[in-house]
Amino acid sequence: MNYTPDKKSISQHEVPEWYHDAKLGIFIHWGLYSVPAFAITGIDLVESMEKGPEEHFKNNPYAEWYLNSLRIPNSPTQKYHYDTYGKDFSYDDFVPIFNEAIKKWNPDDWVALFKKAGAKYIVLTSKHCDGFLLWPSKQPNPNKKNYIASRDLVGELTKAVKKEGMKMGFYYSTAWDWSFNLNPIKDAASFLNNYINPPEYTDYVNTHIYELIDKYKPKILWADMGYPPGTDVLEIFAFFYNKIPDGVVNDRWRQFLPKVKKFTKLAHCDFTTPEYVVFKKIKKKKWETCRGVGNSFGNNKYESEEDYLTAEQIILMLIDIVSKNGNLLLNVGPMADGTIPEGQKKCLLGLGEWLDVNGDAIFGTRPWIRAKGNSTEGISVRFTQKNDMLYIILMGKPETEKVSIENVNLEHIVQINLLGNEENLKWKMQNGNLIIKLPSKIADSPAISFKIKINQINKN
């Protein structure tokens, strides 16, 4: 349809099937902050926020916030920067170092890894809050000369991603740009003050968003922290949907009105974006949780594997998210030269190995009538469904000859198989529980998936 910039028209845009089906995307935070690659370790966003705004911003675990943290007196980042580079070394001095490092980057290597991990879409930071651009925009930064990557990182990765049949999306820090607003975010008041930028900043952002859509044709527009005032975001959505009908936009487009110090209501979104948290129940609205393999999005070279999720933890998280109508946008933080740290790579490959066997229970599925269950043996269970198949995923490997799934109340079962095993399994319903006789040998796995073919999924 032809979308017009009004709520009635834009609200008719439906989340495309590809995004419902995809389940797993890779987030990439890469930029000048990848050169120092520093933040405190041992704490995630949720734990950090619990300490209050002042402590959080001073001790921010996000390495991509390096510039903001550097501007806060006596912060760990400022102390690290002065000790490592000296007080006269500015953040802008990372530009030539980054541009020299990226000469080694090969986008095809990234895409090959992400494909092995099972990812169906990629979201790259085209501009983060520091304002550094990863593509050769016709609208360069008016405040900083040559504040731009020496290669078209956005374009090269987009080409490599699309070549492999994956979907491409762009993160863009819409509301905040620390090359326009030089005041650090250090407490609740300065947090809001960072939304106040000159009117020309709105034009600057608008130009970039339309340019990214026109030049690279992304499937995902991923705004952050809101959108600057003085423009109608519905005009952007209409333009985007008319160009890319199966595109999607996230929920971070609210506008801050400085005069009244309030945010506008969210005009529209295709999906919501909780960060480092997972919903407890099935959500009717499509959602996507984003988080790093570790506690930062940008590369933090001081994080060790102890700070990273294990492949098993990521697998169980993905299963839980998918059972509740969500996607997982899992972030990697490359080094300045594009190298993905071995610990992060290990997690991605472990996830991919599990999906090679169990992907049928994940990709293309939809939530069942409930997300969670249990076995009488004490193993937590998740449910997904697709066409005439119900998938029961055990969040652990049973050590018994049989497993009994509580309160599933299924009728008209035709066949049950364990994914990765061709054997038709014996089963019976007893007192509302589904009892399945397991194969004699089950490979070690963080989770196993039963594929149950039925004539009709019992909706009662």
pLDDT at 305: 87
Q: How far apart are CA 12 and CA 2, in angstroms?
A: 11
User: For the chain, which residues make up each domain, given as ranges?
Assistant: 7-361, 366-454
Q: How far apart are CA 413 and CA 404, in angstroms?
A: 15
Reply yes or no on domain 366-454 having CATH 2.60.40.1180.
yes
Query: Tens digits of per-residue pLDDT, 424-458?
Result: 999 999 999 999 999 988 989 999 999 999 886 44
Helix (H, G, I), strand (E, B) or coil at 233: helix
Instruction: Quickly list DSSP for 308-377.
Output: SPPHHHHHHHHHHHHHTTEEEEEEE---TTSPPPHHHHHHHHHHHHHHHHHGGGTTT-EEEEEEEEEBTT
Alpha-carbon torsion angle 239, 245, 246, 249, nearest 10: 20
Amino acid occupying residue 45: L
Q: Packing angle between helix 311-323 and helix 342-358, nearest 10 degrees?
A: 50
Domain boundaries 7-361, corresponding CATH code? 3.20.20.80
Q: What is the tally of helices (H) and strands (E) in the chain?
A: 14, 17
Q: How far apart are CA 194 and CA 174, in angstroms?
A: 12
Enumerate residue ranges in the chain where pLDDT < 50.
Answer: 457-460
Nearest to 353 by CA among 119, 164, 118, 121: 118
**List of residues 6+ apart from 396 with CB closer than 8 A:** 379, 380, 446, 447
pLDDT at 1: 83
Q: How far is CA 322 from the centre of its chain?
A: 13
Amino acid occupying residue 457: I
pTM exceeds cut of 0.85: yes
The sheet with strand 287-292 has its strands ordered as 248-249, 220-224, 167-173, 121-127, 24-28, 326-332, 287-292
pLDDT at 455: 83
- Other C-beta atoms within 10 Å of 87: how many? 9
Return left, alpha or beta for 428; rule: phi > 0 is left, psi -120 to 50 is alpha, else beta: beta
